[in-house]
Chains A and B, each alone.
Chain A
Amino acid sequence: MSEKNKSDMLRAPFKLEYDYERSTGPIIGKFFEGLSNQQILGTKNGDNVYVPAAEFDPITYEHLSEFVELPETGTVKSFTWIDQPRKHHLINKPFAFALIQIDGATSSILHMITNCNESDIEVGSRVKVSWSEEKTETIKDISHFELINE
């Protein structure tokens, strides 16, 4: 095929949209319900506490059902700074995706940090939940995290 033919190739923009309905179940459902009440709940297995709430222990595979309430503060374990947000990102100003260990938890939650400069964040930085005004009983009830001084 000639180069000319290649450039003549027909193209059409098209949008693929689905509204998936996700069942939450007793563990994730309770975690989301907690978020809508501005509560951070974790599931507990011995010394391990998982936030966001895990249905199964990712190490021992045991079914988890014991909940504990934790504070809305935590520590940055890792982060990546995005100076220019890209398509689909929920925050349209500079922000970080970060793994945050909520105080009292043994796992991390992946969420966003904003309203700060890149140079302000480091591993070990202390952060606090900033709640969404409108609650939807989803992970987005946490709008993002913000740095705190302690």
Chain B
Amino acid sequence: MKDIYIIAYAQNPILADAKAANEVELIMPVVHEVFRQTGLSQKDIDFTCSGSCDYLQGAAFAFVEGLSAIQTNPPIKESHVEMDAAWALYECMLKISSGDTESALIYGFGRSSPGNLDSIISLQTDPYYLSPLWVDRISYAALQANTLLQHGTISHDEMYDAIVESMEFAKSNPNALVSNAPSKEEYVAEQKLSTPLNKFDVAPVSDGASAMIICTKDFAKNLNLDHVKINQVCHNIESSNIGTRDLSTSTSLLDLSTKLNLTNLSVDIAELHSQYSHEIVFLKKLLGLDNTSVNASGGPLSGNVMMAAGLDCIGKTYEYLKSKDVTNGLAHATSGPCLQQNMLLHMERVK
């Protein structure tokens, strides 16, 4: 694969309810910001791909409206995935790898506030056996949390500690939506939504948008922005038949970490798309990240813009690698119930 570099990333402050903003008003600031960071304009970009889900805000073809935020005259090469923008990034990487383009703009946006996120997400599951039962996203996650607790893989204390750590990190992230951890007493006393999860265990409903620019090595070198390279990326998905999956582990992520040769990489920092407290604990153990700084941004528990949060994990990893004196970064994006689909990226700061 060609060497691909990330040269810009921007994220809107995450809001509980972006009242003022339609799609265009959400996307435009982040797109303008990545252009400002690079000195580029839309005309310099060969390919544009976005990630969003129209069901979130209930506006059919909202992604087409979103295009009004970027310059489409003269006409541009463009694509869209009804997924997290991490997968839009993947499409852009393929496009660059094929030799078709030198540079790509990626953006992801989501407004979960207008609708009922828990129910909407259940519509992405099997329409015969699962979605008619309206199994909400928190209950899916809870089934896996209980399985992990039952197997002794994780503990309640570790789940609480993961929340506290995330909130502590979030305090230094100006874009974070929440950064206050409950006391242990508050946490234990809080009404459970779906056992063992209460509202503190669950990433908050969030509105926002993010954008990124990636390019070939030569393109980055010309701009003197050749600092962070995407060394390797891989993704895979497990069966949508949840009753056949082993929720006590993640065969998907174990496979990906083998592909990335993760055990032989000394990962300095990692941003995990962990939308529930138990997922932080579980993923750290599964991926062997005990000695790694994990979710230093506060992670999804501090703000979780659907369809952008995976791209944000990649973007936050990029920001740390760019600004800190560390070498290896790991970014994770996920989709589907109980970590059904996963993407791992190994990113490297190039000296």
Would A86 and B136 count as touching, CB distance under 8 A?
yes
Would B244 and A79 count as touching, CB distance under 8 A?
no
Complex Cα distance, B142 from A108, in Å, reads 16
Would B58 and A79 count as touching, CB distance under 8 A?
no
Closest to A53 in B: B129
Complex interface bits, A97-133 against B, C-beta within 8 A gives 1, otherwise 0: 1110000000111111000001000010000000000
Would A52 and B191 count as touching, CB distance under 8 A?
no
Q: Which of B229-254 contact A (CB under 8 A)?
A: 239, 241-244, 247
Would A7 and B19 count as touching, CB distance under 8 A?
yes
Supposing A14-B58, A54-B244, A139-B133 touch, asked if A82 and B118 sit within 8 A by C-beta, the answer is: no
Say which residue of A79, A82, A107 sits within 8 Å of B243 (CB atoms). A107
Does B143 reach chain A (CB closer than 8 Å)? Answer: yes
Would A140 and B132 count as touching, CB distance under 8 A?
yes
Say which residue of B55, B118, B128, B196 sits within 8 Å of A86 (CB atoms). B118
Would B139 and A80 count as touching, CB distance under 8 A?
yes
Supposing A20-B127, A89-B136, A99-B143 touch, asked if A109 and B118 sit within 8 A by C-beta, the answer is: no
Told that A1-B20, A82-B139 touch, could you supply 10 new A-B pairs with CB distance under 8 A?
A20-B127, A28-B128, A52-B129, A78-B147, A81-B194, A82-B193, A83-B192, A90-B133, A97-B142, A139-B128
Does B119 reach chain A (CB closer than 8 Å)? Answer: yes
CB distance from A80 to the nearest CB of B (A): 4
CB distance from A59 to the nearest CB of B (A): 7
Specify which chain A residues have a CB less than 8 angstroms from the CB of B193 in the assembled complex.
82, 86
Say which residue of B118, B143, B197 sits within 8 Å of A97 (CB atoms). B143
CB distance from A14 to the nearest CB of B (A): 7
On B, residues with C-beta under 8 Å from A are 19-20, 55, 58, 116, 118-119, 122, 127-130, 132-136, 139, 142-147, 150, 191-197, 239, 241-244, 247
Residue from A6, A78, A82, A83 having most chain B Cβ neighbours under 10 A = A78
Specify which chain B residues have a CB less than 8 angstroms from the CB of A83 in the assembled complex.
191-192
Range of interface residues on chain A?
Answer: 35 or more
Closest to B337 in A: A110
Say which residue of A5, A22, A84 sits within 8 Å of B128 (CB atoms). A22
Would B143 and A84 count as touching, CB distance under 8 A?
no
Specify which chain A residues have a CB less than 8 angstroms from the CB of B128 in the assembled complex.
22, 24, 28, 52, 139
Closest to B58 in A: A16
Supposing A6-B20, A110-B135, A140-B133 touch, asked if A79 and B116 sit within 8 A by C-beta, the answer is: no
Complex Cα distance, B122 from A98, in Å, reads 15
CB distance from A48 to the nearest CB of B (A): 9
Specify which chain A residues have a CB less than 8 angstroms from the CB of B119 in the assembled complex.
87-88
Specify which chain B residues have a CB less than 8 angstroms from the CB of A77 in the assembled complex.
147
Supposing A80-B139, A80-B142 touch, asked if A88 and B58 sit within 8 A by C-beta, the answer is: no
Complex Cα distance, B345 from A51, in Å, reads 36
Would A88 and B244 count as touching, CB distance under 8 A?
no
Would B132 and A110 count as touching, CB distance under 8 A?
no
CB distance from B85 to the nearest CB of A (A): 23
Complex Cα distance, B122 from A1, in Å, reads 36
